[in-house]
Structure 1
Amino acid sequence: MPVNFNSSLLPPTLRGIASVDQYGIPRFWATIWIDVLKPTMESSTRRKHLTALDRLYEACNRQRGREPGPLDRRG
């Protein structure tokens, strides 16, 4: 689920919308894609893309049923 991190306690580079798992931990590859490869994306577009990525993560989790999710698992 996309979550908006806008706390004034966070540095500006860590504020914004992020995709998190059921425990509130940012999803690794979704974070890399949105923050590194698409950093200038508008907030509304970012939310739409992260929502679509969340659906992909959920589908993979249902199919594979493993923790951590199969898309972020390394090795």
Structure 2
Amino acid sequence: MWLVFAARDLHAAVLARRHAVFDEPADGPAASAAARRAFRIMDDHMTARRLAGDAWMVGNGPTLADLALFHPSP
């Protein structure tokens, strides 16, 4: 689930960053808003995980999901 999220939902963050840093064509405000929504989902999930005593997105240690969410592919 989180790998798909990283590939699909976090792509907006990549677009927003490219637009802001390299002035690549994009709908900047829409990409930024979509990126904020994606980051909010991740933040809410990790807040719930931390309240449960967990430190990773899934399971008891780092997984591919943690890596994919930390550095979404372009």
Band the TM-score falls in, shorter-chain normalisation:
0.3 to 0.5
More helix by share: 2
TM-score for both structures, normalised by structure 1: 0.40
Q: Which structure would you say has the larger Rg?
A: 2
TM-score for both structures, normalised by structure 2: 0.40
Higher relative contact order (CA 8 A, sep 6+): 2
